[in-house]
Amino acid sequence: MKVGSFVKWSGTDDGRRFAYVGKLIDQTDERVTMLTVDGEMSFPLEDGKVEKAKKPTAFDDLIKRREVAVAKRAKKSSPKRKRTRAKRSGKTKLARSRELLITNGVWMDFSRKEGIALLVDMLSMTPAGASTYFATIKKEAA
């Protein structure tokens, strides 16, 4: 049997018969691995009978549906991130802006445009946010 062909694995377990049909993924002298609608299966050759089989109807569609269902379950079970205010080392952006501009006396040396550009570059702010913080800090310092 070639990799990529369809096989049927059948046998008995605890007195009950079973049979699985799937696409052969890998085969060694001791083990067989196949892809079924239920997922990937690997088993020793001596655990049952392996024979050539026809491709099940709608096999590809069933595999795609299974992948979509697994992806949906994974998405639902993943924890959602809480949106929080951006903080670094316990300080808010306003505190970091004050520290950057007032403590270093930088706001006096820069024009409004340069101060906003500094906040955008140093603190990863948007220009609108940086403009607001710059105005607030300038009012506090005056």
12-32 pLDDT tens trace? 888 888 888 888 888 888 888
Q: Is residue 21 part of a domain?
A: yes
Q: Is the pLDDT of residue 100 over 60?
A: yes
pLDDT at 42: 84
pLDDT of 1 over the 60 cut: yes
CATH number at residue 35: 2.30.30
For residues 19 and 72, membership in a common domain is answered with yes
Helix runs in 1-142, H state only:
59-77, 93-98, 106-109, 112-123, 127-141
> Domain range spanning residue 64?
6-77
User: Mean pLDDT across the stretch 91-112?
Assistant: 70
Would 53 be classed as within a structural domain? yes
Listed residues 25, 47, 77: the one ending a domain: 77
Q: Pick from 69, 82, 125, 128: which is nearest to 100 by CA?
A: 125
6 pLDDT more than 60: yes
Provide the whole-model pTM.
0.45
The verdict on 59 and 118 lying in the same domain is: no
Contact by Cβ (8 Å): 34, 25: yes
In a domain, 62, yes or no: yes
Burial class (CB in 10 A: 0-12, 13-18, 19+), 11: middle
Best CA proximity match to 95, nearest among 118, 123, 124: 123
Q: Are residues 43 and 105 in the same domain?
A: no
Q: How confident is the model at residue 78 (pLDDT cuts 50, 70, 90)?
A: low
Q: Are residues 97 and 67 in the same domain?
A: no
User: Is there a single domain that holds both residue 11 and residue 73?
Assistant: yes
Same domain, 64 and 116: no
How high is the pLDDT of residue 87? 47
The answer to whether position 82 is within a domain reads no
Of the chain, the percentage scoring pLDDT greater than 70 comes to 79
Residue 109 lies in a domain: yes
Q: What is the DSSP letter of 102?
A: I
Q: Are residues 52 and 98 in the same domain?
A: no
Chain-wide mean pLDDT for the chain? Answer: 77
Q: Domain boundary residue among 49, 77, 105? A: 77
Please, which pLDDT band fits residue 128 given cuts at 50, 70 and 90? very high
Predicted local distance difference test score (pLDDT) of residue 116: 83
For residue 84, the model assigns a pLDDT of 55
20 is a domain residue = yes
Angle between helix 127-141 and helix 112-123 axes, rounded to 10 deg: 120
Number of domains in the chain: 2
